[in-house]
Amino acid sequence: MSYFDQHVHSYHSFDSSTPPEDNVHRALEIGLGGVTFTEHFDTHPDDWRSCTYKEEVYTAAIEDLRKRYGSQLFIGKGIEVCYQPERMDFILNYLAEHPFDLVILSIHYFRGQAVHGREHWEGITVEEGTRCYLENVLDAARFCERLHRQRGRVFDVLGHLDLAKRYTQRFFDRYNIDEHEDLIDEILQACLAADLVPEINTSTLRQNLHEPMPGQRTISRYAQLGGQAVPLGSDAHLPQSVGAGFDQAVSMLRKAGIRHTVLFRNRDRSVVPLSD
């Protein structure tokens, strides 16, 4: 059974210049069963000016790819929403008005600032900053839990749960997620209550870390709490990154006792058995 890369970017995102077709070619080259584009939808006032997401252009591109390659692999239309509490009414209305296969909710901010800004880590320790970031992730997961009680599932996937470690490794050459197990537990429990599935994001394996986001300990704990399947995402911004690191991610799933990945199509979730 082929794997599905459900976190891929192209030039429809502000931080990629890759033609979407190049990602499809790469997916076919390495034998993926499908690729889902999840272009950035960033509504923070500092980001909105540079957000290149254009619904009609993006949709037309996906439809064209499906016409040309849809018989060879699944091509999904997704969106990666940056969690912004002050903008959630706008975001929810937007999602309700446009069809997607998959909606990822990602947290890119802590302390009211972008986690990827080196200057935003001034005056705090790695531990303090990491905990502050995870508290924001918990806030987002609990928001999804409340939404789920009111109207069912609105967001499908929680993106790169422990993203902060990408930047503490980059800025300070270290990270430590395990000491925040209490927060991780609360996040995972909120995800289960919200029907929100954490992805395994393999992009850190290309960025001087030895583990994906999240790592083995978190995925094993997710399984212990009742999680049964998770999606795989490369977070590719370049064609050569599509599907990268999936063998390690699958090995991690097996070690945790998880035997399925997840595929989203028209917002419906189906489980896909891991290849033998």
Binned at pLDDT 50, 70 and 90, residue 123 comes out as very high
pLDDT at 44: 78
Span 161-185, average pLDDT: 96
CA 80 to CA 14: how far, in whole Å? 12
CA 269 to CA 262: how far, in whole Å? 7
Binned at pLDDT 50, 70 and 90, residue 73 comes out as very high
pLDDT at 276: 64
Looking only at the bridges linking them, the beta strands covering 260-265 and 268-273 are antiparallel
Q: What is the mean pLDDT of the chain?
A: 95
The boundaries of the domain holding residue 218 are 4-273
Q: How many CB atoms lie within 10 A of CB 158?
A: 27
pLDDT at 42: 87
Binned at pLDDT 50, 70 and 90, residue 48 comes out as low
pLDDT at 175: 95
**Which CATH number does the domain housing residue 147 bear?**
3.20.20.140
Q: Are 132 and 181 in contact (CB under 8 A)?
A: no
pLDDT at 45: 73
Residue 46 predicted with pLDDT over 90: no
Q: Are 4 and 32 in contact (CB under 8 A)?
A: yes
Binned at pLDDT 50, 70 and 90, residue 192 comes out as very high
Q: Are 198 and 191 in contact (CB under 8 A)?
A: yes
Residue 254 predicted with pLDDT over 70: yes
Share of the chain above pLDDT 70, in %: 99
pLDDT at 41: 94
* Residues constituting the chain: 276
Amino acid residing at 40: H
Lowest mean pLDDT among 43-47, 77-81, 190-194: 43-47
Q: How far apart are the first and last CA of the chain?
A: 8
Q: CA nearest 43: which of 99, 101, 95, 5?
A: 95
Binned at pLDDT 50, 70 and 90, residue 124 comes out as very high
CA 98 to CA 84: how far, in whole Å? 19
Domain count along the chain: 1
pLDDT at 215: 97
Q: How many CB atoms lie within 10 A of CB 251?
A: 12
Q: Using alpha carbons, list the distances in angstroms from residue 80 to 1, 244, 264.
A: 26, 19, 14
CA 122 to CA 128: how far, in whole Å? 11
CA 213 to CA 119: how far, in whole Å? 23
